[in-house]
Amino acid sequence: MAVLTLGQPHEEALQTEVTDLGWRGRTSYPKLVWNLMWQMRSQRYDAIMAFGLFPNLVSIVAFILAGGDTKLIINEITRPEIEAKFGRGRVYYFLRQRLYAYGSLITATSIDGLTETCRLAAIPVESGVRVVQVIDRESIDKKALGKLEVKIPQGNFVVFVARLDFMKRADTVIEAFSLLAERTDCQLVIVGDGKARSALESQVERLSLQDRVQFTGWLNNPFPVLVQASASVLASEYEGFSNSVLEAMFSDIPVITSYCSSDAREMCDKGAALGFEVGDYKLLAEHIANVIADKALSDKLIRCARAYRRPHALENAIPFYEDLIRKVVSSNRDLPGSVQKL
């Protein structure tokens, strides 16, 4: 299998044939389009799969200019309709709307991302394919053995790992801990930094939780903290498919998540996580207290998460993508799929 990369390839990609298209910054995009167009015209590649907005747009423009028989697989990693609510997101929404329909196949890593992207491209969602997020368990295990960058609590603690933007709703987790003071001695470790941090620190002071909530700031390697936690919490208002949730599952840490996406609801329905409505700090507090107090519940969550995470493991994801690409190459323009593929 040959690989095209816009910039320097990942180490794993060096095990196969790699063509660097020469990305060195935003001014490189015309060069990328030109180089990729000629790769397509040479008919060297049967299919090209692009991941994310700018690789997708570069690939589509090159595809239009090149003509020929190369199949183009579009993979959306965000939620276009959510992104369109903010600044440049409206421009990106317009570009997706005009160009994504040129793809031979629309894919996305999340249910909502696939639904919104297919809607943009004016194709039935059943014609798209929900693809897996890829997690390398060996890499996570190796990182987990790294050096702790901060001192962590000795007893039970819950970890929240995220960029500290307001939409990540760390305030909900802090509010939940204000209800737990008399029920458990569990503490909260918040890993990350961002524009909401000062407001969150003020909230901790207002609720007199300074002895129960720790801000670590941004860490080069959060896994040594994550693997010692009693639970990992995601409280976002919206997400595509959360990589941090999968990383917690692959670390055998129980997950508690807001219903920030259809994927979050699905994993809760399958017993792989406990869920709560966005902002519902009371139910979140209940979930935290129950996971800490009930080892059987914690073990059940881990067991169900192992089943849920299985398709996303590197050794299972690679055959999945290889099979998908083969089907696209051998098919006509459209490849029927399903948002329930997993």
Question: Which of helix, strand or coil describes residue 260?
Answer: coil
CB 287 within 8 A of CB 274: yes
| Domain segments of the chain as ranges | 2-134+314-330, 137-310
Distance (Å, whole) CA 138 – CA 280: 35
CB 111 within 8 A of CB 263: yes
**pLDDT tens-digit series, residues 123-168:** 999 999 999 999 999 999 999 999 999 999 989 999 999 999 999 9
Considering the segment(s) 137-310 as one domain, its CATH architecture is 3-Layer(aba) Sandwich (3.40)
Q: Is the pLDDT of residue 285 over 80?
A: yes
- Min mean pLDDT across 54-63, 148-157, 307-316, 324-333 is at 324-333
pLDDT band at 264 (very low <50, low <70, confident <90, very high): very high
CB 224 within 8 A of CB 144: yes
Q: Is the pLDDT of residue 3 over 90?
A: no
Considering the segment(s) 2-134+314-330 as one domain, its CATH architecture is 3-Layer(aba) Sandwich (3.40)
Torsion, Cα 5 78 96 332, to 10 degrees, reads 70
Q: What is the CA radius of gyration of the chain?
A: 22
- Helices 89-99 and 53-66, axial angle in degrees (round to 10): 30
Res 39: pLDDT = 87
Q: C-alpha angle with apex 229: 228 to 233, nearest 5 degrees?
A: 150
pLDDT band at 332 (very low <50, low <70, confident <90, very high): low
- Top mean pLDDT of 8-12, 103-107, 331-335 is at 103-107
- The residue to which tokens 């935290």 are assigned: 288
Res 333: pLDDT = 47
pLDDT band at 307 (very low <50, low <70, confident <90, very high): very high
Res 141: pLDDT = 96
The count of other CB atoms within 10 Å of the CB of residue 78 is: 22
pLDDT band at 335 (very low <50, low <70, confident <90, very high): very low
Res 4: pLDDT = 52
**pLDDT tens-digit series, residues 199-219:** 999 999 999 999 999 999 999
CB 174 within 8 A of CB 203: yes
pLDDT band at 337 (very low <50, low <70, confident <90, very high): very low
257 bridge partner residues: 234, 275
CB 53 within 8 A of CB 78: yes
**pLDDT tens-digit series, residues 227-246:** 999 999 999 999 989 999 99
Distance (Å, whole) CA 299 – CA 310: 17
Distance (Å, whole) CA 37 – CA 67: 9
pLDDT, averaged across the chain: 89
CB 78 within 8 A of CB 240: yes
Res 198: pLDDT = 97
Contacts 24+ apart (CB under 8 A), 241-244: 241/109, 241/110, 241/113, 241/133, 243/133, 243/135, 244/161, 244/162
Answer yes or no: same fold for 2-134+314-330 and 137-310: yes
Q: Is the pLDDT of residue 247 over 80?
A: yes
